[in-house]
Structure 1
Amino acid sequence: MKQYTHFIRQNWALLGFGFISIFWGNFGQSFFISWYGTSIQASLGLSAAAYGSLYSAATLASALTIVALGALVDRWPLERFTAAVGAGLTLACLLMALSIHPAVLLLGFYLLRLCGQGLLPHAAQTTMARYFDNHRGKALSLSASGVPVGEILLPLIAVALIGLIGWRGSWMILAVTVPLIYLPLSLWLLRRSPHNTAATPGAAQAPGAISKGRRDMLTDYRFWLALPAVLAAPFLVTGIFIQQGFILEQKVWDPLWLASCFVVYGIAHWLSSIFAGVLVDWFSARKLLPFMLAPLIGALAVLAYLDGYWIAPVFMALLGASIGVASPIIGALWAEVYGTGKLGSIRSLMTAFMVFSTAASPVLFGALIDRGTSLPALFGNSALGTFLAAVLVCFSYPRSTSRG
């Protein structure tokens, strides 16, 4: 922790920008939006299927859009990019509050997913990876702490606001926080940072530094060997959470018991991310890649082959750790291999890959469950597939003898 204390003291402004950007980005995350689902469906007279279809369509559309808009963080000064995305998030919250028709709700979902889930975290993590070289892992893990903090605080805030002023009023309050709190604070932090965030990233990049883009990445065989490992955690964790009813039924767990274990998930998520950030700075992200999937394989094996109430917290701890260790490792990987000059372009494409994978897993898991696949078969085979992804990644970037 001493390393973190000294690092935060020297770079608190830019680290603070990363943290609050990811925290406000939680407005567009599924765990937060889900608290409004029942109220929205009742107000607009939507069935569960219609509501889910609108949400899925908006999510997929945002994934396609971020490929283009995410690259702007490579060409615009960070203050300008942040202001534009903040304006988009404000509009998204206002549209949610004013949704009196499914078409308005669809647009609100789209902007929430684009600006909240996509562009704000994208700007934060691209900035951490770009401006911190020797301390990249710690920077990525500290800014990513905005997610577990949001997982703890924001559901409580949402429930309280909905109870006091209704779901529409709640979104109005959230909309106001962006121009009144987030934008002034984020721009103030950027201006207090010793890093030259007012310049375009190309001008700020050191002469002679590696600067490869999407084309270089997509024509690099190492990328395709690493991709299954990179997408494994978001793909499987989303499928598990969406199909948790099947797990509860097969394991005979009380829903309240599993819900209480989410605290274990959040703590493991945060602690593992902080620890992995230090390891990235010590060893590099490329060298850690073969070990990144160990907690996920353990979680899947525990879920598949062990029974009992005590399994739930163990499973959730391993699942949280799998997400926590992946964030700084994958976040630092692209900068290590392809440089930082076009990092926004690369990260936006990877965000799109991730969103598509999370859209596919609930459908695939649901189809397998409907066909009668047992829990041990479903998650045992998932563990085997994850192990094979870990084997493949051993032949990708870790075999590199030099950067790029």
Structure 2
Amino acid sequence: MEFFHLLRQSPRPLAFGALHSFGSAFGQTFLIALFVPFISQSLGINETGFANIYAGITIASAAALPFIGRMIDRIDMLRYSLLVMVFLAAGCFVTSTSENIPVLIAGLFILRFAGQGLMSHVSMTSIARYFDRNRGRALAIAAFGFPMAEAIMPAIFLALIAGLGWRGAFVTAGIVILLVMVPLASWLVRGNAGFRAVPAHSASAKSAAADDKTNGPSSIAKEQPADNIEPIHTNNATDAVKADRHQTNGSPHPKLFRSVYIWLSIPMLAGQPLVLTALFFHQSVIASQKNIDLGWFAAGFTLFAITSVIGAFGSGPLIDKFGARRLFPWHLLPLMMAVIVLAMTSTAQIIPVYMALAGFTTGFATTLRTAIVPELVPLHEIGSVRSSLTAIMVLASSAGPPIYGWLFAASVNLPSILIGTVSAMAIATLLSWLAERPGFYRPPHMTQPQAARVG
């Protein structure tokens, strides 16, 4: 019932988040992969060469994300969103005109960077910043756009490719982004000053709060410390800003990345994207070694999508009740069980179990990895920190397939690889649990206004 209450109370901000998670599909691998055979044939690229180009583009996109992603903390949210959508549409048009490899690289880079990177970033960051009490539930609703796109976009684009060719499909996508998504995003949050506002550091927030009271149903809360964080006792807002600058030394987020906490947590952040990307990429090898028809894996993706939705919506209330930091060290457990199941048996009937368990971790991780950021840093650093952490996860996903490929090439048997995978995830879980021990990291004093208390 809390989900329905939240939807009734803030339908437009939640729809804005879901629109961007859905729109990220234009740059996601599952959709671009549909074009690979047609692009390869048209430009005379073999699939191995295409895979190498794609890996390089993904790494370049991850490297660029922290620099552009942090600007979301300094620019009106709607303006940032519209710039990203126009950039994404440009990627569709550039890709459609590809007659040689350099143009193809440029187009695919824009698609990956604006789609997988920035559209997802806008979706999750905007919701994490705006919602407070029900942040976990709100993120779960916004994240629903990801599985929705996975469910319907492939069929739509296969039909477009069949009817218009791969170039026409990309042109159509660009037109839809400009004529449907851009106006829709603008309509959803144009009048919500609290949602669009740049997070304030100082006393200037008072005027922002006053403007928000007159322009939207929710107002930015008065300055108050986050839960379990001692307040800074200052005489005025200027002193608070000085204290904040002293902590950050003028940089976006050095305190978090200088802490032992984040370096103990990075293996946990990287675990799910690295392992699942590698296992899905090499699923034909796994199927061959286990003498299981590949169709079982293909069918398993439907169950994977269903359980990822269940995991996302199930995680929301848990995050709101217990906090993301307390739950974070345990979210790889279903994936560990999935890999154990895959390692220990060779019957086709275990594939749905494996895919279902993997889906739970994926859904849980989608909301959890964003919800944890506001518990670690001040409100005005959420976008900057999240973009850096997302870049780490993208790099991990690009590293997974070659790592497992090297292991297969070295004739390491599949059970050993899978048991090694479980062991590595167990170590990541232990490190993440240790990171929460006292003394490793204490979030900075949040003297700026907290997120609007919606819900």
How high is the TM-score relative to the length of structure 2?
A: 0.85
From 340, 344, 348, give the equivalent of 1:305: 344
Aligned to 2:92: 93
Whole-Å separation in 2 of the counterparts to 1:129 and 1:143: 10
8 Å Cα contact 1:287/1:398 also seen in 2: no
In structure 2, which of residues 391, 405, 409 is the aligned counterpart of residue 366 of structure 1?
A: 405
Q: Which residue of 2 aligns with 1:199?
A: 197
Correspondence 1:253-402 to 2 at 5 A: 253-397=292-436, 399=438
Distance change (3 Å), C-alpha of 1:399 and 1:324:
farther
Provide the secondary structure at the position in 2 that maps to 1:362: helix
C-alpha deviation, 1:387, in angstroms? 0.9
Query: Could you tell me how far 1:397 is from its partner in structure 2?
Result: 3.3
- The answer for the alignment partner of 2:276 in structure 1 is 237
Distance (Å, rounded) in 2 between the aligned partners of 1:319 and 1:259: 14
- C-alpha offsets along residues 225-262 of structure 1, whole Å, 9 cap, x if unaligned? 11111110011000101111111111211122211111
**1:132 and 1:168 mapped to 2: Cα distance?**
40
Deviation at 1:198, TM superposition (A): 3.5
Query: How far 1:66 sits from its partner (Å)?
Result: 1.0
| Structure 2 residue aligned with 1:175 | 174
Relative to structure 1, the CA distance from residue 356 to residue 157 in structure 2 (aligned partners, 3 Å threshold; closer, same or farther) is same
In 2 relative to 1, CA 306–45 (structure 1 residues): closer, same or farther, beyond 3 Å?
Answer: same
Indicate whether 1:114 and 2:106 are aligned.
no
Unpaired runs of at least 5, structure 1: none
Structure 2 gap ranges (5+):
209-219, 227-243, 445-455
Secondary structure of 2:197's counterpart equals: coil
Q: C-alpha deviations, 1:351-396, integer Å up to 9, x for none?
A: 1111111111111100001111111100111001101111111111
CA contact (8 A) 1:148 1:266 kept: yes
* Alignment match, 2:235: none
Q: Is the 8 A contact 1:13 1:192 kept in 2?
A: no
Q: Tell me the distance in 1 between the aligned counterparts of 2:358 and 2:438.
A: 27
In 1, distance between residues paired with 2:387 and 2:253?
A: 10
Q: How does 1:147-186 map to 2 (within 5 A)?
A: 147-186=146-185
What number of residue pairs does the alignment pair up? 402
Q: SS at the partner of 1:278?
A: helix
Alpha carbons 1:286, 1:398 under 8 Å: kept: no
User: Secondary structure of the residue that 1:196 maps to in structure 2?
Assistant: helix
Q: Is contact 2:325–2:372 with CA below 8 Å preserved after alignment?
A: yes
Quote the offset at 1:398 in angstroms.
Answer: 6.3
Hey, what's the Cα distance between the residues in 2 that align with 1:265 and 1:338? 32
Distance 1:25 1:397, change over 3 A: same
Q: Corresponding residue for 2:59? A: 60
Relative to structure 1, the CA distance from residue 50 to residue 209 in structure 2 (aligned partners, 3 Å threshold; closer, same or farther) is farther
AA in 2 matched with 1:312 = I
Shift of 1:76: 0.2
Q: Report which of the two structures shows the higher radius of gyration computed on alpha carbons.
A: 2
SS of residue in 2 equivalent to 1:229:
helix
Cα offsets for 1:77-110 (capped at 9, x unmatched): 0111011101100100001111111111100110
| Structure 2 residue identity aligned to 1:222 | Y
What is aligned with 2:79?
Answer: 80
Residues 399/297 of structure 1: CA separation in 2 closer, same or farther (3 Å cut): farther
Moved >2 Å (runs of 4+): 201-214, 397-404
| Distance in 2 separating the partners of 1:309 and 1:399 | 46
Counterpart check, 1:8 vs 2:24 = no
Alpha-carbon contact 2:25-2:146 (below 8 Å) kept:
yes
How many Å separate the matches in 1 of 2:189 and 2:425? 39
Distance in 1 (CA, whole Å) between partners of 2:25 and 2:373 is 23
Q: Distance in 1 between matches of 2:75 and 2:172?
A: 29
Question: Per-residue CA shift, 1:280-307, capped at 9, x if unaligned?
Answer: 0011001112221110110111111122
Identity rate, percent: 32
Paired with 1:299 and 1:145, the residues of 2 have a C-alpha distance of 23
- Tell me, in whole angstroms, the C-alpha distance in 2 between the residues paired with 1:326 and 1:399: 24
- Residue of structure 1 in register with 2:236 after alignment: none
Output the CA distance in 2 between the equivalents of 1:208 and 1:76: 24
Partner of 1:31: 30
Cα distance between partner residues in 1 of 2:84 and 2:199 = 17
**Is the counterpart of residue 103 in structure 1 residue 102 in structure 2?**
yes
1:12 CA displacement = 0.7
